Amino acid sequence: MYRLFFHLIFKRMDPEQAHHLAFRWIRLAASVPVLRTFVAAFLAPRHKALRTEALGLRMHGPFGLAAGFDKNAAAVDGMAMLGFDHVEIGTVTGRAQPGNPKKRLFRLVPDRALINRMGFNNEGSEAVAARLAARRAVFRTVVGVNIGKTKVVPEAEAASDYVLSTERLAPYADYLVVNVSSPNTPGLRNLQATESLRPLLTAVREAADRTVTDRRVPLLVKIAPDLADEDVDAVADLALELGLDGIIATNTTVAREGLGLRSAPELVKETGGLSGAPLKARSLEVLRRLYARVGDRLVLIGVGGIENAEDAWQRILAGATLIQGYSAFIYEGPCYARAIHRGLAERLAASPYATLAEAVGADTRKAGL
């Protein structure tokens, strides 16, 4: 049904306009009490076996919405209504900014992929903090806050921009993510080098502790799939050294070669980050590598090309405690999270593992990695 709708309506629209339209519908549905209860009962049924505890937080399940869909925290309840067990808002930058000129979002339909060069279009940390402060939660869901650098702030002053966002947003964050991996802010990914990352993460940790004194806000870093394997290891070691809580793997890729892309060459060569199905293999590989390095000392969040329950299950077996999706939501529609939950519950029941927690990393451990 959604597929037909996608091909008849959304596919003919500009992708960013389609996003805004869908976003408005989600917000509208979530604002009508009877409707949202009805939708949530259908799309977000709870599976006891999937209950997850991670980062000191309790969740209905392991599957959440990846950053970038709800940049300004305007539809947290709407996304929870659609069955996402956590919602990562952002990326939010210190100051408001418009992002890159349009057109900046492209659908690669034959590849079930997207290319985006949005460039962190968002209302800025002050406005987003005010929205989160005013939020009266309808659905209990975990809210992650993903922060990044304002474009006009020079790379050398990046830490102060992340600190500003931290001071404003940490009070409303169930967990905080330092995003140093989006390809659309010049120089941002250089911050993944440990010499830059160490002082940045230290400054954000200190700012979070200074700002929120009645609990410890979990802190994670989100990395790119384009890092060399040794750099993935270096980030993992640094995360352990600094006492971070987790790593999100991965953001979008700037790679195009070797991914078997079938879309028109003029689309494939659009500048920006590629997400969706073609990212699956590399994201899984990075996740496995991380788990082999850190085991259960960090919470790993697997994201990149998760289209269905089998993909989600493979990430859990590889080492992810939590998983996220974005691009496949565009292609699969409102039943995306529901299908993942149902399939995960079936797979867990048919597996030798009594709980999801037991399954986390089982394949990577078995392989002796």
Ligand X SMILES: Cc1cc2nc3c(=O)[nH]c(=O)nc-3n(C[C@H](O)[C@H](O)[C@H](O)COP(=O)(O)O)c2cc1C
Binding site membership: which residues? 67-71, 91, 116-120, 146, 179, 184, 222, 250-252, 276, 305, 326-327
State how far Cα 136 lies from the chain centre.
23
Q: Binding to ligand X (CB under 6 A): which residues in 280-299?
A: none
Active-site residue among 125, 182, 263, 283? 182
Chain residue whose CB lies nearest ligand X: 68
Q: Contact between 327 and ligand X (CB under 6 A)?
A: yes
Minimum distance of ligand X from residue 206's CB (angstroms): 22
Q: Contact between 182 and ligand X (CB under 6 A)?
A: yes
Q: Binding to ligand X (CB under 6 A): which residues in 25-64?
A: none
Q: Binding to ligand X (CB under 6 A): which residues in 66-105?
A: 66-68, 71, 90-91, 105
Count, residues near ligand X per rule CB under 6 A: 28
What b-and-e string marks burial along 67-89, b requiring 16 or more CB atoms within 10 Å of the CB? bbbbbbbbbbbbbbbbbbbbbbb
Minimum distance of ligand X from residue 253's CB (angstroms): 9
Closest CA to 158 of 132, 195, 105: 195
Beta strands in 111-189 (DSSP E): 113-116, 142-148, 175-179
3-state helix, strand, coil in the chain (%, to 5): 50, 15, 35
Read off φ and ψ for residue 60, nearest 5 degrees.
-70, -25
Minimum distance of ligand X from residue 50's CB (angstroms): 19
Minimum distance of ligand X from residue 158's CB (angstroms): 15
Partners of 219 in beta bridges: 176
The distance in angstroms from the start CA to the end CA of the chain is: 42
Partners of 122 in beta bridges: 97
Closest CA to 139 of 251, 46, 15, 258: 46
Q: Contact between 325 and ligand X (CB under 6 A)?
A: yes
Q: Contact between 323 and ligand X (CB under 6 A)?
A: no
d(CA 33, CA 30): 7
d(CA 74, CA 95): 17
Q: Contact between 146 and ligand X (CB under 6 A)?
A: yes
The number of residues making up the chain comes to 369
Nearer to ligand X, 159 or 180 (CB): 180
Q: Which of 82, 118, 163, 356 binds ligand X (CB under 6 A)?
A: 118
Catalytic residue flag (residue 165): no
Nearer to ligand X, 36 or 319 (CB): 319
Minimum distance of ligand X from residue 274's CB (angstroms): 9
Which spans of this chain sit near ligand X (rule: CB under 6 A)? Answer: 66-68, 71, 90-91, 105, 114, 116, 118, 120, 146, 179, 182, 222, 251-252, 275-276, 279, 303-306, 325-328
* Catalytic positions: 182
